[in-house]
Amino acid sequence: MKPEAVVVLGAAQYDGRPSRILRARLDEALRVPAACPIVTVGGKLPGDRFNEAEVGKSYLEKAMQQATTTSASRIPPRHVYAVATGTDTRGSLEAVLEAYPYRRVVIVTDPLHRLRTYLIARKMGFHAKVLGVKNFDSTPRQASWWRYLAHESGGLLVLGVEHAFSASIAQRLRSRLHRIEGWIRPSRRRRHAVILKQDKNL
């Protein structure tokens, strides 16, 4: 498949600086050997001054600018576009669909997130290849890996319920799982609150 664009799913940013996870995704996007645009995606949470998409775009443009001064660099220059909305996978991909006509895409995310991303993208009509970052340093030896696995398992369960029953039942299940995750990972509560507000506005 010859991609029309590389889509980098958003992750946390800290006052204009990409988090370790977001930086790994952006670096992976630069390694994709395709002369096509890169689309960064992701909004901001209440209280944030910057959004994930613009932070990602700025990081990529600086990386490519620095690469032009290094003759041995293998990073080809390419256009970078920012879609500054989306707080979850589905919302981010919907925002890309609304902004651009790209359907054949390479989506960059984390290894444990690949399957759910692929299933959502396929359902939305993308012809997608999903890459997991190669330097993702969380392993089964770490508690963070198991928390991430639990999060993704819950997400796959929600997709299965949506397919077997209805979107409204899946939405109620997701809300319950978010409450549980909020107890375990308080840092996720702001993002969950934004997603809940969006669900109520549908």
Condensed to tens digits (0 to 9), the pLDDT of residues 170-187 reads 999 999 999 888 888 787
Whether residue 196 is predicted with pLDDT greater than 70 in this model: the reply is no
**pLDDT at res. 142:** 83
Q: What is the mean pLDDT of residues 141-151?
A: 86
Q: Is 83 helix (H, G, I), strand (E, B) or coil?
A: strand
User: Nearest-CA neighbor of 133 among 40, 24, 34, 3?
Assistant: 24
Which pLDDT does position 201 carry in this prediction? 59
Instruction: Give the least confident one: 73-77, 84-88, 107-111, 120-124.
Output: 73-77
Q: Which domains does the chain have, with CATH numbers?
A: 5-132 (3.40.50.620), 143-201 (no CATH)
Rounded average pLDDT over 192-200: 70
